[in-house]
Structures are given as structure tokens and as C-alpha cells.
Structure 1
Amino acid sequence: MKKIPQTILFLLLLVFTFVAAENSTAHRGGGGADEFHVGVILDLGSLVGKVSLASISLAVEDFYSVHPNYSTKLAIHVRDSMGSEVQAVSAAIELRENYKVQAIIGPQKSSEAAFISKLGSVTQVPIVSFTATSPSLTYDSSPYFVRATLNDSVQVNSIASLIKAYGWREVVLVYDDTDYGRGILPHLIDALQHSDTYVPYHSGISLSATSEDIMQELYKLMAMQTRVFIVHMSSTRASLIFTMAKDAGMMSKGFVWIITNGLANIIDLLSPSAIEAMNGVIGVRFHVPKSQKLDTSFLIRWNKIYQRYNPNKLPLNKSISIVGLWAYDTVWALAQAAEKVGVSGNRNKRLQPHKNSTCLDSLAISINGTELLTEIVQNKFRGISGNFDLTERQLQVSVLQIINVVGGTWRHVGFWTSKNGLSRYLNQNELETTGSSASMPDLNPVTWPGESTEIPRGWEFPASGKKLRVGVTSSAYPEFISTSKDPVTNATRVSGLSIDIFENALKRLPFALSYEYQAFDTDGNSTSSRSYNDFVYQVYLQRYDIAVGDITIIYNRSLYADFTIPYTESGVGMIVPVKEKVDTNMWIFLKPLSQGMWFRSFIFIIYTRIAICLLEYLSGNRYLHEDMLESFLSRIVHRVWKIVLLALASIYTASFASILTVQRLSPALTDIHELQKQGGYVGFHQGSYMEGLLVDIGFDRSKMRSYDTPDNFHAALSNGVENGGVDALVLDVPYIKLFLAKYCKGYTMVGPIYKSAGFAFALPKRSPLLAELSKAIINITGGDTIIQIEKKWIDQNSCQHDEEMDGSGAITFGSFRGLFLLTGFVTACSILAAFLMCHCKKQEESRHIQDADKGNEENGDCNDDIDNQATILVPDSPNTNSISDGVSAEPFTQTNSCQALSAHFVH
């Protein structure tokens, strides 16, 4: 009997041990590991939610198959948010109360994450989301929130670079009117502005918008000039938008659609009909590098789990979306952190209740929440999505991929990094530099909407048949522009140089443009009573699409309008009367020739005189006067020199007469500041910007007078100040040239005295037509067209105005170099010829003497007779003293002179 109690005791002990073991096994999940409870909140009705759930389940299986000896194991508790913020928050509270979850994966939406991250901060439970991308979710506002995905703001620079590379200047933003949709706007607009891209309109689509509302908004977008749209929406809304845009004809040639990475990342998960509607769209998405982990076997295993949860869905045969890969890596990161933190016996403590407390006050605080958060953000590893690094509390990105949706799928266009910009290829984790400012981006060809391969301009005039409204106004100078009304059709008729340039520019545009002229002064007021500033301001008020006329580009107008490049020369000048000027300089007669010319002429005169004397001397003549020249060579030199002197004298006479005539007329004044100091009167064109310019210079308004027409300008100048006129007129240089062409006597231009940009056409700020028109104007002004237009409207045969001359207009030696070289050459050749002739005579004389000596030896006394005959032959030589002294003068005959000079110069 004593053994029975022992047996019973043994059996009871065995039972208690078995029960404890069962409890322990149940508590540890049946695998000997402590359960680490984790909540998962997803919208299971959405495609992203279904894909994410399959990835999370596969990640748990794969992780613990690789790490079977871990002491902890994630226990996943899934809740469906049904796309509701309230439902998501309710699920988070329930998970915390019932399962004491140590972390929450999700929620799926940024708006849900904003609520639940506050709950996480109160209970110190980390909230890890791989889908909440709104930049408004920050560590400062939610310290326990971890973003296991990209912040939407990281893609804005890539989008701006893409737009700049293709040369688009305006874009329209189309987005969900939610926290997710609005969160990217400040960052994206700022990036676009830095790239000189304008955003004229934001199209926020409310979640409550009906199909009719969306279609009405699309028609509004289609009525705009801008054809570049950036879409930042959820997959459900984006699929609807693109389907309706296709029906509205907005997926045709000329349109550009860019999707952000929120949609581009899950492009593989969209329905075939949605992808077909998006044909031609380009987008920015996260680049997933090639990995051995991401193979066919992984996709097979993932599809098995996916179909386990979604038996009515077909398997995904292409690839898992990036969101699914992030969900997979998030589980691995959390599982590793859980193992390091472990499961504490007392994992929670209650909040201290207080008066008026709510149900949130009853939630327990996680003791190891801070440690778990630290382990999560410090965990780095090479995941299936690439480098998984959460050290900045959000996923870091190094490369983004540009894709093009074509033929029911997408293809690669290029890459982007913050360091090197856009490029076609990826080279050892670094991109080859492209320079996004290049005229053509270094990217693969893109098939745009409408199956077009031509890069869209990014803008079109609305297809509603609306014509370009061209504002015109009559000028004081009808040669530039004049307007009138057709008495039959009441249409505005225009003509002038400005109109010809504008119409020629339109013909050079790469597209047809329908337009109509609208006169600025249609209300009956004269142009003079309405300023050009008011005219340009009508463009800002959107009354005109462009203002055409003789409009000067000035700073204050550029504040509310953009201008094409100028089509006329620039500058502001003065028109002043001319007055007589008497020059009393006693040396004025020297001005026609330069100092160098005077000096060289004097040298040539001396040189020529010496040459003539030498030639006459060599010829045996006594040179006393020009009329007594006997040498043939000296007469040639003298006549050539007379030709040079005759030409020089003619030019001198004409130049001297011009100096005496021109210097009689000079400007009455040459300095506008001097006129202002003297209190003179100045005139200007009424309605122009000259009034403000003169005030800035310092003129008193009482000294300024405005006029309407060139006739009034002429009368004001000719009457003078004494008769109510002015001392000078200040006008744009093109106006001055027209005035002087008509009134060419008694006036002259001074200046330009002030810089201006010239005449141009005004357009609305950031008008897409600006660049095209400017290129066309360059084509006109750089060729023969502008010459023909100016000949048509401006008299090219107007009288030429004499200008005051100075010493710089004197005739220089260079102008007569040819004549001086001619006379110098002739003189030198003559002297050389004379020396050669003397030398030849000497040789001949020597032979005669030798022959004579031989004859004397043969004939004896006959030599005396020969000598006497030689002496008698030269009695009239200039070197003889008299006829009777002929014998004694024999040594000074012509032959002897040549011999002496030849002996000196030749030998």
C-alpha cells in the first residue's frame, strides 16, 4: 500500500511534466523557439496587398529554413485594413491588445501609416512599412516609423532631369488628392523649377470623383497647350485615368505621359487592359540588380503561396513586383532583429491610467521596443531586392531606372543617379556621364503615345479650333506697323516691317499655325494715348497670345512677359540740329595729308631732283631748268614724277575742299547729360518708355515734351525752344534712321547714348512658342530675307549725312604707295641705264684710242691730224670754255665725263 502513493505521485509528476512540455511547445510554436508576435496590416482587396501577403509568408518559410536553430520565430498576425484609415488603426489596437505584437509591418497607405505611427510612438512599437512613400512621414514626427521603401522625394530630380533632357519647358501634374498624392508636390515642383520647367496647372483627382468628373478634367487638360503630364497616383486610379485618357484621344501622337515609381514599380501587376491603355508611357522605377536568389525556383515557390491565398487568380509568370521583394526583405530584417533582441518574460508594462483617459491609455508599452528599433535600422544585408539598408530609417537608393511601356510590357530606356544623371548603360555600379543638358539624351529610343518615335515638342495649340490671338497696334512710324479695319469684313488689316518679319517667322515654324490679328486700339482711342506698356500687359492678362509690333525689350516689361530675340538693331540715340562751324586753325592746309605723307613726298621730291641732275650730268648737259632737259632718261623720270604730283595735287584739292565744307556743319550738342545740366528741352515719342528713361537721367518733367508723329518731331526741332520746340529728340535708333531718311537736311544723330535690346515680339511667360519663334527670327535676320524686307519698308537711298572730320581722315602714304613705287622704280632704272650707257661708251672709246695708237705707229705724223680732228669735233661741249680754246678743253669732253664718273661708280 505504501508503493501506491509513490506510483500515483510519479504518475502525477509525469503528467505535470507532459502538460508543461505541451504548454511550452505550444508557447514556443511547436519548434522549440519563442514566438515573436508581429502584426501585418494590408489592404487584402488590393493587388499590392495580395502580392505583399504572399511575399511575407514565403519570407517566413525561407528564413527559418535557413536558420532552423534560432531561438525566436516570427508569429505573423494578418489584418485587412480594407483601404480605410479607421479600420487600419482599429486593427493595430486590436493586435496590440490581444497579441502584444512587438512590431507592425505595414500599413499599406501613407495616410494609414501616419495614424498608426503615432500609436507606435505611444506604445514604443516599431512600425515598418514597405509601401508608405509620402515624404510627410518623417523620423521627427514619427520616431518609431521605419520606411522599408523609397521616399517619393528621391525620384523628383530624375524626373526633372528627364524633362530637361527632352527639352520640355512645361508640365502638368496629375495626382490623387490624398496624402500620398499631395506629399510629392512641393519636392517635385521645386526640382522642376531648378530645371527651368514651369508647372502651369495641378490636377488633383479626388477619390470621390466619378467617371464623368474625371472625363471633364481630362477635357480641361486637353484644352491646354501643355502636352506633358506627370502622373502620381495609386494603381487603381491610374488604370482608370489612362483608360479614359485613351478614350478621349489623349494617348495619341504629341502627348507625353510620365509615371512616378509608385506606379512604375508595380507595372507588372497591372491588368492587360490597363497596360495596353498606357502604351507609350515612360516612367521612373527602382532598379533591381540581377541576383542569384531571384531565379525561376523562387518565382515558382512564390506563385504557390500566392495561389494558396488567391485560388481564383492566375499565377504571375513574368516577375514579382518590387513591392513584393521589399516585403520579403522586410521580414528577413525583422526576423534578424527579433533574434538579437529576444523574447523577454515581461515584455510589456501598462501605461499609468489618469483621469479622462481613453482606450489608448490601456495599451501596454513594449519594453524592448527601443532596442528592437535600433536593431532594425542597423541591420544591413544583401537582400533579394538588392542592398537592404535602413540606417537612415528609410531605404537608400543609388540607381533609378527609366522604362517605356510598349506592347503590353515595358522595356529599358536608361538609368539615373544623383551623381552622373541620365545614361543608357550601367557600368560597374556607376553610370557613364551623359550631361542632361545635351540636345539629345543618351538614352535608348522611346516609343511615344500613338506609336510615334519622334520626340514630342511637349506642347500643342488646343485642338478646339481656337486661333492664335495676335495683338497689334499702330505705330507712329507706319513703316514698322500700321493697322486698319476692313470696311466689309471688319477684320483687322496690318502691314509693315514688323508684320513681314512675324509672318515670315511663322512660315519657318515646323508646324502649321492658325492666327488672327486683333487691334489694341479697337475702342477708338488713338495709339498715342495708350502706352506700349499697356499693350504688352494685355499678353499677361491673356487677352493676346502674342503682341506684335515695334516693341522695345525693357526690364519692367520682362517682369510680366517674355520676348523673342530682337529683330532690329539696338540702342537709343539723339536727333539734334546741325550748326555751322568755322575752323580758324592757321595750319588747316596741312590736314588733307598725314604727317607721313608730307615727309615722304618731300623725300621723293629731293630724290627725283637729284636723279634728274645726275642723269643730265651723265649726259653731258648742264641742268638749269625743266624745259632745258636734254637727256631722254631724265625727261622720262620728270614726266612720271609730274603724273604723281598731278594725282597728289588732285586728291589734296578734293580733300581740302571737303574739310572746309564738312566742318562748317556740326551737331548743336553731343552730350545728353550736358543738355540736362543746362536745363534744355528734350522730346520723345508719346506712349514709349523714353519718358521714364529721361526721368532716370535727371530731366525735369517740365523740360520734357512728347510728340506723336515724325512731322511733329520735325516741327519741334525746327521751331526751336523759343517757339515751343525742343533742343533734341531721344528715340530708338531704328526710329532715328527712319526720321533722318525723311528729313535728311539740318539734322544728325548723336549716339547711341543708351543701350537697349531692340524691337521684339512679346509672349506670355514661359510660352512654348517662344523658342520656336526665336529660332525662326534668327533664320530671318541672319540671311537675305531681312535685307529684302528692309529694302521694302526703309528707303535705302536716303541722303547721307556728313559727319565732322578730324585728323584721322587725312590721306596717308599707303594710299599712294603704288605711284611712289612707280616713280622710284623708273628713276632707279633710268640711273642704272645711264651708268650702263657711260660704261659702254668708255669701252668703245678705249677701243678707238687703241686703234688710233696703232695707226700712229703706221702712219707717223698722221696722228697729229687725227688729234686735231678729234678736238674740232667737240667745240660746243658745255665743258669747254670757248671756241678758241678748243684744244685746251679736250680733257673735259663728254667722253671724258663718262669716263670719270664710270671709273668712280663702276670700278
Structure 2
Amino acid sequence: MDTTAKTTSLLLLMVLSFLGLGVAQNVTQRGAGILNVGAILNLQSLVGKIARTSILMAMEDFYEVHRNYTTKLVLHIRGSNGDNIQAASEAVDLLENYSVRAIIGPQKSSEATFVSDIGNNSQVPVISFTATNPALLSSNVPYFLRATLSDAAQVKSLAALIKAYGWREVVPIYEETDFGRGIIPYLVDALQEVGVSMPYRSGISQSANSDQVEQELYKLMTMQTRVYIVHMSSTIGSILFTKAKELGMMSDGYAWILTDGMANIINSISPLVLDAMDGALGVRFYVPKSKELGYFTTRWTMRYKQDNPNDPPTEPSIFGLRGYDTIWTLAQAAEKVSMINAISQKQQQRKNSTCLGTLGMSTIGPKLLDAILQHKFKGLSGDFDLTNRQLQFSIFQIINVVRSESKEIGFWTAKGGIHRNLNQNGYKDTYLNSIPDLSPVVWPGEANIVPKGWQFPTYGKRLRVGVRTSGYPEFMKVERDPVTNVTTATGYAIDVFEEVLKQLPYAIPYEYVAFDNAQGVSHGTYNDFVYQVHLGVRNFGSPI
């Protein structure tokens, strides 16, 4: 064996030993056998492809380290095409015809709702590392485990970021799915805590085409708020940003913030779409860097290219890493559970019952679930602990999309708030400060100045402000352009009025309406002038 081969073998052993917390432990003879495991993924999607490569590598790596384990996982991968009914159908097929004792996935939150009920009735653990809808609660379906965080975990980091930059209003743009809608109630509460309002909610159908997305963006352009939180999958999100750039909404004055749905896979998005997203901020799960992770990423990239030769290069992302760690957890749990008499007890037959009503109940389900909940280890994605039926809170990384790349600009933690570096001392709730402790941001339009968060709408009614020439021109003077017929006003009173408008956290488009005739002569006394407001006069001399 040459030096390179020896080095590679040593590195592989180091990675696998790190993940397995040492080479195989003493094996007790509590029953040899296999444990069938189903995996339900949308194999046509980027996340689904990433997950497939990751779980296959996890299977190979785990048993390379634990060669003398007596219980082996046998994986059965099924595609859902992102359809709830098909995902449920695949789950039933896996339970009836392949006797699976655990199901990984499904990928979407709406699919997980269906499959978790099936798994719960059959006492088969369902472990999803991608379903983030907070409505999926293990208290309702105790056999559902979330090998990730719910979207409720990230809302405080989003609120902190918005507060830190002094924005007072924000509009969420989300896809009309369980995943998209699930975050909204939690986001509303988090924003209210820091004094930020949500004047409008922009829901976009998952099946929306470019024209429909464009129509919604035009609607947003008629509003004054210019800060958007984008919570959607990469498919519809790519259309959104491409159209936003075409319409001039990725320019100076706009602020865009990505939730972890897109931010986690930012480096796997098309370069053309990344170019359109230039200047956006993002919040995503933080994965500690390590030599083991670096070596795994190199191997994973080569394997993904073999599995998907026609796809552009990508990275494992947090979804791939958590899929990998899920397999390791499940394999360790399977070894602790005796497979002797691991059969399904058929539920009592009932008249007019469906196949769902006659599915068997796993005899090892409760023990397998307990073993999964008790197993804790440090995986590629970080600390992997499902004690509370979902991963514990983690650190969020704040990124800035600059020149088609993601640039790390800081972090957010529940205890420390926003900080540029994780090891910074003197933690405090940074979002209460006027300037966030982050690396410099390149905003849309390559601007270096923080967007004020609002501007005059493209369309809409204007505030009509009555003005009249005073006996003291330095106090107020009114003039009308003879060509454009536009009224202008100057003087101390006007300066005060316009300065007050600048201090408001929202835009008020306005125009001056003169109470003077073309020769600059007033239509009446000052009392007559003020009384026009009571009369509802739009143009002096004609009622509304």
C-alpha cells in the first residue's frame, strides 16, 4: 500500500472513529438480525438528492467501523415526488410489505403530518431531519421525532436582526404550504416583542409561475415597507429573487432576509439565482468546522457527483449532515434492541376497515423509540440529542450573499444575542443596540449604507397638504411653477413639517396644494384656510 493510500485509510478511520465515539464496543448477544428501515424523500428535489447520498454513505461508514455488530439496518428508499398522498402510500407499503421498524423522513412538513400518524398507530418511529413546521408536535404523535429544529427556534434571531438595524416594519414572503405558514404566528410574536410590526403578509403558491410571482412583487412595490423576510423552498425562492432583480427590487433601499430554508443550502443554489440574491442577509444553523467534517465533505462531493452526474456540484448542507447522523443514531439504537420475535402484531379486524386500520403494530417499537431517545453523540452536524424528541437549540449563523457567495458576518445565540465572533466576551442582547456587532454588510445594489426600510410607494394616494403664503415669507412662502403647475413651499414651517416626516418609521407621500391663486393672492383669511380641512376640500375652490 503506497503512502497516499495509507494516509487515506487513516483519515477515514479517524472520521469514523470520531463519529462512533470509538471503534466498536463490546457486543452482547441479545439477538442477531436485521432491522428494516424506510426512507421517504422527494428524490427529484435538491434536498432529497443530498439526503439520499448522505444516508447511503452513513450506512457504509457505520458498519465499516462496527463490523461485529449483530443487528444491521437494511434501507428501503422511496420517492414521494413532494406529494402528501404518495408519501403516505409509500409508508403503508413499507410497513405492510417490507416490515420496516423505523421510517426516515418524509421530507416535507405536510408529508410528515400524514406519515407520523401512520407511524404512531403502528408504533414505528418516524424521524424527519427536514420537517420544520412547529405544528408537528410529538405530544400528539409520540413516535414522531424531529432530527432538526422547528422553525420557531429561529424567529428570535430574525427579530434581533431586524431590531438591530432599526427597522420598524417587515413583510414576510412565504410559500403557501405547511412549511411556509407554520412560522408566521411565532414570527409575529417575536417581532412584537421588539416593537416591529407586520403590515402585510405575502403568501405565494408553491405552484406559482413567474407571472404570478411578478404580480405579487408589483403589489409589494406599491407599499412603503422595503424589508422582507423570505421563508420558502429553493424552488419557488429562485423564481422570487430572479423576478425581484428584473423589477429593480434588488437595489439600493431594499433589505432581504432569508430564513434557514434557503440559507442552509445557499451554496447549492444556481449561480444565476445567487447573482440575483446579491446583498441579501440570511440566518442558518451553525455547524462547527472540524477536520473530520472537511474530509467527509470531500468524500461526499465525489459521491454526490457519481449519484447525480448531470447535476452541478453542491455541498452536503445541514440537511445532509443531519441525515447522516440520523442513520448513526438509528443503527446504534437497533443494536441495543433484541430482534428476536420482532414481528408486527395485527390489529383486530374491523368491518369496513381500510388498510390503515389493519396495519400491524411493531413489537419492538417502544424499545426502539427509547433507545433512540437515550442515544447522544457528537456527529458531523454537532451535538445530536433527541431526548426531547427534537434537537436542542443551536447557534445561528448570519450570512451575507456577496458576489454569488455566502459571507459569514456574525452569529446569534439566545444568551448572547448578535455578535461578530462566538468567543466574544461580555454577551448582551445586542439587538437592543442601535448598531449591530456584525461584519460590514454589502446591501442590494452594492450599497454600504443600511436601508432605512421604507420609501415612497410606486403607486398610491398622496397626503394633500394645504399651504398659503404668509405675511412673513420666511415663515411660509408658496410658489407655483408656470410650466408644470407644481406647487412648492418654503420657509420655517415647511422645514419643520418635512423634518418631522423624515423621522417617521414609514413613508408618507405628499404634495402641496396652494390656497393662493395663480397670482399668489390668498383665497381668504387664515381661518378660511384652516376650515377647508373640515369641509373636506381636495382642491381649493372645489369639494371632494
- Normalising by the smaller structure, the TM-score range is 0.7 to 0.9
Structure 1 residues 507, 35: closer, same or farther in 2, change over 3 A? closer
Correspondence 1:645-656 to 2 at 5 A: none
Query: Aligned letter for 1:140?
Result: S
Query: Aligned letter for 2:446?
Result: E
Aligned position for 1:198: 197
In structure 1, what is the Cα distance between the partners aligned to 2:327 and 2:252? 45
Given the alignment of the two structures, is residue 453 of structure 1 paired with residue 451 of structure 2, yes or no? no
Correspondence 1:452-531 to 2 at 5 A: 452-463=447-458, 468-472=462-466, 498-499=493-494, 501-503=496-498, 515-518=510-513
Given the alignment of the two structures, is residue 325 of structure 1 paired with residue 321 of structure 2, yes or no? yes
In structure 2, what is the Cα distance between the partners aligned to 1:47 and 1:205? 20
Higher relative CO (Cα under 8 Å, sequence separation at least 6) belongs to 2
Aligned position for 1:54: 53
Per-residue deviation, 1:198: 1.3
Correspondence 1:546-565 to 2 at 5 A: none
> What secondary structure does 1:361 align onto?
coil
Per-residue deviation, 1:531: 8.3
In structure 1, what is the Cα distance between the partners aligned to 2:391 and 2:331? 17
Correspondence 1:362-761 to 2 at 5 A: 362-427=358-423, 432-433=427-428, 435-463=430-458, 468-472=462-466, 498-499=493-494, 501-503=496-498, 515-518=510-513
Structure 1 residues 33, 244: closer, same or farther in 2, change over 3 A? farther
Conserved? CA contact 1:478–1:496, under 8 Å: no
Conserved? CA contact 2:170–2:226, under 8 Å: yes
Instruction: Flag the structure with higher helix content.
Output: 1
In structure 1, what is the Cα distance between the partners aligned to 2:230 and 2:289? 28
Structure 1 residues 427, 121: closer, same or farther in 2, change over 3 A? same
Q: Identify unmatched segments of 5+ residues in structure 2.
A: 1-30, 516-523, 539-544
Query: Aligned letter for 2:247?
Result: A
Conserved? CA contact 1:84–1:112, under 8 Å: yes
In structure 1, what is the Cα distance between the partners aligned to 2:401 and 2:479? 53
Query: Aligned letter for 2:98?
Result: Y
Aligned position for 1:77: 76
Structure 1 residues 374, 518: closer, same or farther in 2, change over 3 A? farther
Conserved? CA contact 2:415–2:429, under 8 Å: no
Aligned position for 1:276: 275
Correspondence 1:45-444 to 2 at 5 A: 45-296=44-295, 298-316=296-314, 319-427=315-423, 432-433=427-428, 435-444=430-439
Per-residue deviation, 1:410: 0.7
Q: CA-to-partner distance for each residue in 1:399-424, whole Å, 9 max, x for gaps?
A: 11000111221111101011110000
Conserved? CA contact 1:171–1:197, under 8 Å: yes
In structure 1, what is the Cα distance between the partners aligned to 2:479 and 2:501? 23
Per-residue deviation, 1:292: 3.1
In structure 2, what is the Cα distance between the partners aligned to 1:70 and 1:508? 68
User: What is the aligned length?
Assistant: 499
Conserved? CA contact 1:415–1:422, under 8 Å: yes
Q: CA-to-partner distance for each residue in 1:311-331, whole Å, 9 max, x for gaps?
A: 323544xx4211100000000
Conserved? CA contact 1:268–1:409, under 8 Å: yes
In structure 1, what is the Cα distance between the partners aligned to 2:298 and 2:32? 29
Query: Aligned letter for 1:240?
Result: I
In structure 1, what is the Cα distance between the partners aligned to 2:215 and 2:414? 38
Structure 1 residues 528, 436: closer, same or farther in 2, change over 3 A? closer
In structure 1, what is the Cα distance between the partners aligned to 2:379 and 2:83? 31
In structure 2, what is the Cα distance between the partners aligned to 1:335 and 1:145? 17
In structure 1, what is the Cα distance between the partners aligned to 2:294 and 2:496? 65
In structure 1, what is the Cα distance between the partners aligned to 2:437 and 2:457? 31
In structure 2, what is the Cα distance between the partners aligned to 1:483 and 1:408? 51
Per-residue deviation, 1:372: 1.2
Query: Aligned letter for 2:311?
Result: K
| TM-score in terms of structure 2 length | 0.83
Conserved? CA contact 1:105–1:128, under 8 Å: yes
Q: Identify unmatched segments of 5+ residues in structure 1.
A: 1-31, 544-907
Structure 1 residues 356, 218: closer, same or farther in 2, change over 3 A? same
In structure 2, what is the Cα distance between the partners aligned to 1:508 and 1:49? 48
Structure 1 residues 401, 503: closer, same or farther in 2, change over 3 A? closer
Q: CA-to-partner distance for each residue in 1:546-582, whole Å, 9 max, x for gaps?
A: xxxxxxxxxxxxxxxxxxxxxxxxxxxxxxxxxxxxx
Per-residue deviation, 1:491: 7.7
Per-residue deviation, 1:516: 1.4
Structure 1 residues 103, 491: closer, same or farther in 2, change over 3 A? same
Structure 1 residues 503, 245: closer, same or farther in 2, change over 3 A? closer
Conserved? CA contact 2:39–2:77, under 8 Å: yes
In structure 2, what is the Cα distance between the partners aligned to 1:246 and 1:148? 35
> What secondary structure does 1:174 align onto?
strand
| TM-score in terms of structure 1 length | 0.51
In structure 2, what is the Cα distance between the partners aligned to 1:395 and 1:503? 52
In structure 2, what is the Cα distance between the partners aligned to 1:140 and 1:519? 66
Query: Aligned letter for 2:236?
Result: R
Q: CA-to-partner distance for each residue in 1:630-657, whole Å, 9 max, x for gaps?
A: xxxxxxxxxxxxxxxxxxxxxxxxxxxx
